Amino acid sequence: MNRFLIVLITIMLLVGGIFYWQSKQSSTPPDMKHQVLSEDLYPLYNGTSWNASGDESFAIGNTTFSGASIKSATIADTMDPGSIFTPFESYYDQKLKALGWQTTNDLAAGGHVGGQTGYRKNASIILTRFQIVYHSVPDNAPSECPCDVTLSLFSSEN
Is residue 131 within 8 A of residue 143, CB to CB? The reply is: no
Whole-number pLDDT of residue 26 = 42
Average of per-residue pLDDT across 12-20: 51
Whole-number pLDDT of residue 10 = 57
List, for residues 136-153, the tens digit of each pLDDT value.
888 888 888 999 999 999
Average of per-residue pLDDT across 116-124: 95
Measure the CA–CA gap between 115 and 92, rounded to whole angstroms.
14
Average of per-residue pLDDT across 7-14: 54
Q: Percent of the chain at pLDDT above 90? A: 65
Average of per-residue pLDDT across 69-81: 95
pTM over 0.85: no
Average of per-residue pLDDT across 34-52: 93
Is residue 151 within 8 A of residue 71, CB to CB? The reply is: yes
Give φ, ψ of 113 to 5 degrees.
Answer: -110, 10
- Written as one string, the DSSP assignment of 36-86 is ---GGGPSPPTTS-B---EEEEEEETTEEEEEEEEEBPPEEEES-THHHHH
Measure the CA–CA gap between 123 and 67, rounded to whole angstroms.
13
Is residue 149 within 8 A of residue 81, CB to CB? The reply is: yes
Averaged pLDDT score across all residues of the chain:
85
Q: Which of 6-15, 82-91, 123-132 has the lowest average pLDDT?
A: 6-15
Whether pLDDT at 40 is above 90: yes
